[in-house]
Amino acid sequence: MSNGTSDADLFDSYDDRDDEGEAGSVEEHKSVIMHLLSQVRLGMDLTKVVLPTFILERRSLLEMYADFFAHPDLFVSISDQKDARDRMVQVVKWYLSAFHAGRRGSVAKKPYNPILGEIFQCHWTLPNDTEDNTELVSEGPVPGVSKNSVTFVAEQVSHHPPISAFYAECFNKKIQFNAHIWTKSKFLGMSIGVHNIGQGCVSCLDHDEHYILTFPNGYGRSILTVPWVELGGECNINCSKTGYSANIVFHTKPFYGGKKHRITAEIFSPNDKKSFCSIEGEWNGVMYAKYATGENAVFIDTKKLPIIKKKVRKLEDQNDLWKDVTFNLKIRDIDAATEAKHRLEERQRAEARERKEKEIQWETRLFHEDGECWVYDEPLLKRLGAAKH
């Protein structure tokens, strides 16, 4: 970055791919889906089933996880709150705003299953942040960008079971997030369920607070007609230092009647059985908060929140394993996309066989296992601690 190149020279704004206007393709390929359904049984684990290429979204699951930070301003403002209660409310606000951006297009599509060792990096420039004359980070997920930016990296750390680890930080706000998710897919008849096993942790370093959170499950519904995605399940956010906690329920639509995409949430003070804030609404629409004081307010209106586009190193400067699949999906050459995907998967199998024969353990590049979690090797907390000493 020191050779006078600007941000625009090195990074692409990466969110301009439009997956709308593809509803027809599902009808066209119904016979392929029928063939796929003939291979599966109820409750069957889908990890080993090869899905037809046309139902793929043109990006990897690792990139989809980056959409948790489509509102980086909400994320960094957690550390701006003056007291623990407000910080917990802001964590909940960021968390509930983090799901709608990942679902683009009205037709549900499936991101690529990441290849073992695959890495995705990006960053966001915050609104009101001019990157001129700002100090640059020298380490972390994306070295060489402004210290005001939110930087992100994800790595596929395991293939069986499929586990992705990801990490984000903002240097100047002294905030970081570390997570791992193991996706377990099951065939449920007319829908596909994805159980997201794992957890995330928001760390406010100035306050030495860690907020542990869990993720909802995902469901691909109406897979024979126009598929749509819904989230379901109970999630929790807990901060052991302050004692504040939140309980969030993603409600699946009842078979008859009822609304789609409903959430309810409660935020609790330490040792309180009764919540001080109740939230309800839709995770991809408007959510309203009702406080114990009697005050009612709009908590989040996702339709009015500007999505900040992530910046990714230009394609020629990064090792994008999926570029041939993505290109062919874009020009609607399904056969070529399928062939490119097959080559990738075959290479992955061959490498796994070779490791098995030579009894070589796979080594991750940026994350390591710590108990049941996967942790980024060089988090901000560790780097700041080293700088002090």
Query: How is residue 292 annotated by DSSP?
Result: T
- Give how many domains the chain has, as a whole number: 2
Classify residue 327: in a domain, yes or no: yes
Angle CA 114–117–121, to nearest 5: 75
Q: What's the Cα-to-Cα distance from 300 to each of 132, 229, 287, 353, rounded to whole Å?
A: 31, 20, 5, 49
Tell me what pLDDT residue 42 has. Answer: 74
Single out the residue of 218, 215, 210, 217 nearest to residue 245, CA to CA: 210
Confidence (pTM): 0.84
Residues in Cβ contact with 8 at an 8 Å cutoff, skipping those fewer than 6 apart: none
Residues in Cβ contact with 333 at an 8 Å cutoff, skipping those fewer than 6 apart: none
Classify residue 241: in a domain, yes or no: no
Do 39 and 175 fall into the same domain? Answer: yes
Classify residue 168: in a domain, yes or no: yes
Domain that holds residue 171: 8-232+307-320+359-387
Tell me what pLDDT residue 23 has. Answer: 43
pLDDT in tens, 349-370: 777 777 778 877 888 899 999 9
Do 381 and 329 fall into the same domain? Answer: no
Do 167 and 23 fall into the same domain? Answer: yes
Do 334 and 350 fall into the same domain? Answer: yes
Tell me what pLDDT residue 2 has. Answer: 32
Classify residue 143: in a domain, yes or no: yes
Do 30 and 78 fall into the same domain? Answer: yes
Do 328 and 226 fall into the same domain? Answer: no
Q: Which residue has the tokens 């003056």?
A: 82
pLDDT band at 5 (very low <50, low <70, confident <90, very high): very low
Do 328 and 210 fall into the same domain? Answer: no
Do 150 and 183 fall into the same domain? Answer: yes
Q: Which of 21-25, 85-89, 278-282, 364-368 has the lowest average pLDDT?
A: 21-25
Q: Which of 181-185, 273-277, 305-309, 336-340 has the lowest average pLDDT?
A: 336-340
Do 174 and 185 fall into the same domain? Answer: yes
3-state SS assignment for residue 351: helix
Residues 22 and 227: beta-carbon distance below 8 Å: no
Residues in Cβ contact with 282 at an 8 Å cutoff, skipping those fewer than 6 apart: 259, 260, 261, 262, 263
Rounded distance between C-alpha atoms, residue 364 and residue 54, angstroms? 31
